[in-house]
Chains A and B, each alone.
Chain A
Amino acid sequence: MSDHYDEFEEEEFTTQFNGRTVARIIGQLKPHWPYAVGFLVLIAFVSFLDSYFTFLSKQIIDEGIVAQDKQALVSIVTRYGSLIVIQALAVFGFIYLTGILGHKVRYDLRKAMFAKLQQLSLGYYNRTPIGWIISRVTSDADRVAELVTWGMLDVTWAVTNIATALYFMWIINAKLTVLVAVILPVIVVVALEFKKRIIIQYRNVRRINSKITGHYNETITGVRVIKGLRREEANLAEFSELSGEIYRAGYRAAWLSALFLPAVQLIAAFAVGSVIWYGGLQAQVGGISIGGIQAFISYITFMLWPIQEMARVYASMQQAVASGERIFSLLDSTPEVVDKPAAFDPGSMQADIEFDHVDFAYEEGKPVLENFNLLVKQGETIALVGPTGGGKSTIVNLICRFYEPTGGVIRIGDQDYTDFTQRAIQSRIGMVLQTPHLFSGTIRENLRYGRLDASDAEIEEAARMVGAHEFIMKLEKGYDEEVGEGGGLLSVGEKQLISLARAVLAQPDIFIMDEATSSVDTLTETLIQQGMETLMEGRTSFIIAHRLSTIRNADRILVIENGHITEMGTHRQLLALGGHYYRLYTQQFRKDAEDMEEIKPEVALAYGD
């Protein structure tokens, strides 16, 4: 079962500890340093008081009870009481400062990452799964913020607590303090080793748990197939292997954690036993008081908490540092497409577009375009046809400057287009994708995305122009209808109409469209055709075409195969050529009309994906 899943999460934990990353994580506090200083001072003070309270309890016993001195008792109790109030104020202070600081760091990190993400080029997005990026912005930012605030707080509290406890113990009895100081490192080492093992177990549980979620997800989304193939028993058997795995891992993790405290406590008990032994011998000779013995027992017993906290922070620190590394790797990514320092906005992209000996590769050594040449006159409509992976989308991506050529030049109006700003080019391109992306919100909001200052009348006008107005008005709330996440409440055809209207609003100089391959009902398809024609008027247009009517109406058709233009010309010219285009075209129509047996297998294979 386990090899059905990629062990993606593994990578999260193998990151090496890196001092520079730690420094950079702590550097996140810099803009808010007064908060950091404030909470550190306050927590140290609170921690000191925690130790001092135990010392005061000792004084109650020795100077009050044993000395039979009510006067002294009253004065100790008064001091104790006022310190409780002071400590409460300090507690308020550190919770507030630490918490605020944490939220500030989270906020800063999220903001910085989002801003970076807006700059990064499309290449980054093709390499990086969206889920990965989202975890960086949410859980990784949380972990880093947690470490520099509550993590640092806990460690400061723990270290101060142990140090001040040792100081008070030293005041009470130096010899016994040495004994404690010997046992202390043993406890710390045992605690750390334990925590490390427990953490590994819980990671294991989490890893299996994500497989379990995956299995549930597949069972639900694929329930039709499971039922249709009558596969229920086999599916349950596979799942119960997984649930058995997580049972064993979870059980192991749980009993290991259950062993942690008892084990550490037992070591401490030896220290307490020694105190009793030693105290029994020394008390009579005045080596240690009754209150002193009680104080030692308390200090030793409660020293387990700071140690446990330190072990916890230590364990989570590795993860937080790994989180930090991933965040910084995102923040340090450089966009592949950068504006030149002198880049400018020529004010218009109404010009000829020329590909001059253009080479391009997404990955080194795997060229997609080679020595590609093309001159497109302003206002021309170009239809791009050819097999998947042939380079059609690449040409479009290059025009949009989502990528830049690895060799050669692309010119818009005789000027290398890298001399322009990206914004100058992209804000003048209207784009309609094969599966159009809408944002959640109303139809109106989505249309307005094309031009943010468009009035409602202009929006309606644009919708009318592409023939989207009718279907929008049929919706219950018209333009105020919610489209759902990713436009999920609309059909593909409707989404295309809306994205056409959105492109109309943007009044682009260049129009790019990737036609939908999926079935759209006949009426909507006619509307889309009309909408496209509206948009193509007077604009330089590039259409990745699947519909034959589109292809035929284009000024020029380019058959793109293996990164080259294999055929170019008008519909008639290409048909007369009798080459690829001819076969493609006739295949599409003739095979529908004629018997399927007549399709020549070699034609079919030539266009196989």
Chain B
Amino acid sequence: MTEMEFSPESSYAPGPSTTNLAEILERVLDKGIVIAGDIKIDLLDIELLTIRLRLFISSVETAKKAGIDWWETDPALSSRAAEHSLALENKELREKVEALERKASRASRSPRRRAEEDS
């Protein structure tokens, strides 16, 4: 399959016409009443998927970088929200434990070092 390039480095400059193309594509390609044609249309689903992935994977990544991943975590938009909030809490707890461990090891190391210096 030919690779589609929707990456930011490719020729697409952001602008009204590109935005417009995205709007057209998301309507023309997968909206409207789908009927069985004689040429296998499910083939198009593969292409569609490719395009979608290109368009949207980066959107998710950027959003995460920007700290805005609420459409993944909003219960109205995703059933993974509960799972995610648990994972988040887990991560927070792990970070806290790590910090405490670091603090504890520092505290225990320093008296020993002092003892070694004394001997």
Judge: A and B partners, yes or no: no
Q: Enumerate chain A interface residues (CB-CB to B < 8 A).
A: none
